[in-house]
Structure 1
Amino acid sequence: MTFRVAVGGIEHETNTYRMKDADLSDFCIVRGDELLSEHAGVRTYLGGMLDAAATHKATVIPTLHAKAEPAGVISAAAYDEIVVELLDRLKMALPVDAVGLSLHGAGIARGRENIEVDICRRIRELVGPNVRIVITLDLHGNLSPELFDLVDVAFGTQNAPHTDMFERGRDAVALVPQLIDGSVVPKLHLERLPLLLPPVTTMNGMTAEINRICRSMEEDSDIIACTFFHGFPYADTPFGGASVLGIANGSAAKAREAAQTVTRAIWDARMDIPAKAFTPQEAVERALQETVKPVAVLDGADNTGGGCPGDGTYVLRAILQAKPVDSCFGVICDPEVVEQAHRAGPGSEIEILLGGKSDDLHGDPVSADAYVKLLTDGQFVRRSPAGEGTVENVGRTARLQIDGVDVIVVSKRYQPFDPEIFVLHGIDVRRLSILGLKSTNHWRAGFQGVLKSDFLADSPGLMTQDLSRFAHERVPRPIWPLDKETTY
């Protein structure tokens, strides 16, 4: 069956505790044919949608895709401009049989508590009840049941790191012919849990076991998908918390039963899910004691992938104080220091105040003498299975050496997904002893087999493991672990 499908979307993970709003300039926006060239053959949600459309010889009408590094609440002006253009481009694409949307699930704009609901409601009003709307969502979505009254089907990433974005996009569009001919009639059930989870990986531990339970649910031929959404705990929203989405062909009861089977398993295992964290000093000390290198020290509380500024200094300072040989820290965002290094040039010695400039939460600037080893334009291609083929641009960069420690400084906030940013700066990660990473879990796929062990360093920051540091005025209460008496 051939069909016409319009593709596009708006993706943003909103950290409401970050004071600075996300503005229009924070978004990378691609339109029309540029969307096709940007995502064709790339392991993104839209890349998977385009692959499925090609398999079915469908006609693809690219509209608009906007994505920003996770940050604060999206400004009203920025959101309105983006969503209006998306709707205008979709209107010009009509008539279509289906709309494929790459969304996130944890997006918040000023005046829009849940942008995914708002986007899908407005698109449903535009295209009418007979056009199929299929969407992809991030595993960290804070989901509203209303969303699933507006769309025909939704596929969320199952893995953290999100190595399956391409597959979930492909699933969404591959189902369109069956949605059109009526051989598949999805029934969706969202089961929400009173549970806030700091980010954890699904590559091992209890979350891997829960994913196995989800896959066992899908062994029933009537279960289209059963997905564990971890939620995003750094957003104070009525939709905050973990959830499970069950989708069954023709049976609301089966969708509900699958979702509830998994949520019961999650609730019973909640004590065993969170990652073990250390102070920055403890994490560095433990890393130094490891005999098999290289070892990662994770600066998870200042992870730009969750809306942090990326210029926190707690972990960097701990590494500098320890002075480990063959060590590197990557990356810290400080465009002022990058500019200073570029003015001085390679081979220069400069006095710097590095990091700690965005707020009072992530540590004071590091005062140091630095040797400018190497400068770059900050452009490279991601090789991690999570988004492989994505063109990265972190602005101009500098490789500085401070007391024998290499420090990669970037102009734009960035979370390392793989060794490529280090390769760009002439650093072979395999030869390191200690690697400080501003990441929590997304590094795991791209560095698999390279980094031998890791220690999560927690500190004050917008992604601290200690959720009690934040006010939770809008999230449903009681909720675990904030309220120990919570029941489910």
Structure 2
Amino acid sequence: MSSQLRIGVVGVYHETNTFAPVQTHWNDFQHCFTLGRNAFFDLFEHTRTTMGGVIAASAEEKITLVPGLYTSATPSGIVSEEAAGLILEQLTRSIASDLDGMVVILHGAMVSEQCFDMETVILEAIRDVIGEQIPIAVTVDLHANLGENMSQLCDLLVGYDTYPHIDAYERGEEALHLLVRQIRGEIEPVMAIARSNMLVAPQKMITTKGIMKAIMEEAFDMEKDPEVLNVTVCGGFPYSDVPFAGMAFAVTTNRNEALANHYAKKLADLAWAHRDEFLVQQVEAEQAIRLAMDAKEGPILLVEASDNVGGGAPADGTHLLPELLKLPLRSLIVIRDREAVSIACQRGVGNDISCAIGGKSDTLHGNPVEIEGKIKLLFDGKYTHRGPYMKGTVAYMGKTAVIETNQVTIVLTEERVPPWDIGHVESIGLNPQDFHLIVVKSAVAWISAFGPIAKQVIEVDTPGCCTPSLHRLTYHHVPRSVFPFHFLEKEHAQ
């Protein structure tokens, strides 16, 4: 074997919300689309991303990194059959020959019109190109739904250890280092996967507190065992209605299958024993507003997880907007509405605007709300992440308009952009600490942006395709025996 190893890297990253009102198309993957070494390095080198970690580790290992296709799209609805086909075609065509190994960067919850488990289809397509003998290391998001065949299709599985996700870079490094060790014959990975029979809302997957912290600490203790190569805790993505959705655990050992199975089952049993701790408590919108008004100091965060952009929601929910417009408190809300942005751009900065905003994707997330205000700013929507989540990467909100009406500042965007980074508002000249109330359309990732400045956090119960009240959604493929459905039905019967 040549001392200069050649390791390929490709990736397709999408978290699919099968309840979301808008389908995901080929064009949605073009915002982050790289093909080949130069494009991959130009976009990701020195960024705090999985891709950046793979690049850094390849330099440390002194191997030749051979990137093919990497593409991603903001979490959204089911991926169209056309988009899935084009991605597979371009991906397989981009894989170089004469590789010693592959790193494949996936989310773990991608669903297309024709397939519940796109990650399996992607890995099978890669195997058809490189064969069965070339080792593959896969990285996944903490919200991955692990498919039934994952342990047969890859040699190594490395998932994020944090939520909010601030360790993607380290997991990219870890995956490549383990892959190199396997190629050099230092380890022989054996993987076991155990499932918890639980569907968990994202709010209960925060890794710095509660039962999820306890589970992660148990996983880290297992990784101290010299025979253990990696322990991956996947909280799962409950908004993908697929038969295998839910919390699962993957343990990879060096040549010890029995130990891998033992540890994986131990984690699954631990989660099940504490299943009641995974139920989410929220307050109704009216009560949330009252609590916010009683608070003496802001910013108060109204967390509207039901319209969680990072979970695939449309970002145009209006359930809280009418209440904000009535309040004598400075408030901030971001709403995606291309039509309203277009009107604002036509009117221009300093002029008045009167139009209906939001509530245009479907009826679940509210109705359009009439506003009258003044256009304070127009912006091209590009900013660079400066916080701990994906630091150095460029985000794009599309054309953006800042409207002031009553005491409410409304940021209208063309694109759906999750509030993962403080640049989400600071890039348009807004200081979040100037507001008493801030609505964040997120489940947990808002912590990376607003956590350090929040004086109080109120979880608001509003309708939407990312509601943590999972019993409100109509599942067709997740078994009703999965927690919490059976538990809630039994409780209701009593």
Fold-level similarity (TM above 0.5): yes
Deviation at residue 486 of structure 1 after TM alignment? 10
**Which of 356, 366, 369 is matched with 2:369 structurally?**
366
Partner of 1:35: 40
Partner of 2:162: 159
**Which of 2, 6, 9 is matched with 1:7 structurally?**
9
- Find the aligned partners of 2:157 and 2:489 in 1 and give their Cα distance: 29
Deviation at residue 31 of structure 1 after TM alignment? 1.2
CA contact (8 A) 1:121 1:150 kept: yes
Partner of 1:475: 478
Matched, 1:86 2:91: yes
- Find the aligned partners of 2:163 and 2:320 in 1 and give their Cα distance: 23
Partner of 2:208: 203
Partner of 2:134: 131
Matched, 1:26 2:28: yes
- Find the aligned partners of 2:302 and 2:184 in 1 and give their Cα distance: 52
Matched, 1:212 2:217: yes
Question: One-letter code of the match for 1:11?
Answer: Y
Question: One-letter code of the match for 2:20?
Answer: R
CA contact (8 A) 1:352 1:370 kept: no
CA contact (8 A) 1:13 1:306 kept: yes
Deviation at residue 280 of structure 1 after TM alignment? 2.1
- Find the aligned partners of 1:299 and 1:480 in 2 and give their Cα distance: 23
Partner of 1:382: 385
Partner of 1:319: 324
Moved over 3 A (4+): none
CA contact (8 A) 1:240 1:476 kept: no
CA contact (8 A) 2:7 2:66 kept: yes
- Find the aligned partners of 2:471 and 2:328 in 1 and give their Cα distance: 33
| Structure-to-structure mapping, 1:95-244, within 5 angstroms | 95-200=98-203, 201-244=206-249
Deviation at residue 7 of structure 1 after TM alignment? 1.0
Structure 1 residues 53, 302: closer, same or farther in 2, change over 3 A?
Answer: same
- Find the aligned partners of 1:321 and 1:247 in 2 and give their Cα distance: 55
- Find the aligned partners of 2:180 and 2:71 in 1 and give their Cα distance: 27
Render the CA deviation track for 1:146-168: whole Å, top value 9, x for unaligned: 01101010101111111111111
Q: How many residues align?
A: 483
**Which of 51, 54, 59 is matched with 2:64 structurally?**
59
- Find the aligned partners of 1:102 and 1:400 in 2 and give their Cα distance: 39
Render the CA deviation track for 1:133-189: whole Å, top value 9, x for unaligned: 111001111111301101010101111111111111111111122101222111111
Q: Which moved more, 1:41-50 or 1:266-275?
A: 266-275
Render the CA deviation track for 1:99-158: whole Å, top value 9, x for unaligned: 111101111112222111111111112111221111100111111130110101010111
Deviation at residue 421 of structure 1 after TM alignment? 2.1
Q: Which moved more, 1:364-373 or 1:276-285?
A: 276-285
- Find the aligned partners of 1:480 and 1:198 in 2 and give their Cα distance: 11
Render the CA deviation track for 1:409-456: whole Å, top value 9, x for unaligned: 110011111221211221111232211111111111233322232111
Q: Which moved more, 1:293-302 or 1:276-285?
A: 276-285
Normalised to the residue count of structure 2, the TM-score between the two structures is: 0.95
Question: One-letter code of the match for 2:24?
Answer: A
Deviation at residue 76 of structure 1 after TM alignment? 0.9
- Find the aligned partners of 1:139 and 1:229 in 2 and give their Cα distance: 5
Structure 1 residues 216, 288: closer, same or farther in 2, change over 3 A?
Answer: farther
Render the CA deviation track for 1:376-411: whole Å, top value 9, x for unaligned: 000100122121111011101011112111111110
- Find the aligned partners of 1:175 and 1:295 in 2 and give their Cα distance: 43
Deviation at residue 80 of structure 1 after TM alignment? 0.7
- Find the aligned partners of 1:118 and 1:23 in 2 and give their Cα distance: 18
Question: One-letter code of the match for 1:135?
Answer: V
CA contact (8 A) 1:12 1:68 kept: yes
- Find the aligned partners of 1:181 and 1:31 in 2 and give their Cα distance: 28
3-state SS of paired residue (2:452): coil
- Find the aligned partners of 2:22 and 2:415 in 1 and give their Cα distance: 15
Unaligned 5+ residue runs, structure 1?
A: none
Partner of 2:305: 300
| Structure-to-structure mapping, 1:407-422, within 5 angstroms | 407-422=410-425
3-state SS of paired residue (1:20): coil
Matched, 1:17 2:16: no
Partner of 1:253: 258
Deviation at residue 23 of structure 1 after TM alignment? 0.6
Unaligned 5+ residue runs, structure 2?
A: none
| Structure-to-structure mapping, 1:336-355, within 5 angstroms | 336-355=339-358
Structure 1 residues 4, 486: closer, same or farther in 2, change over 3 A?
Answer: farther
3-state SS of paired residue (2:202): coil
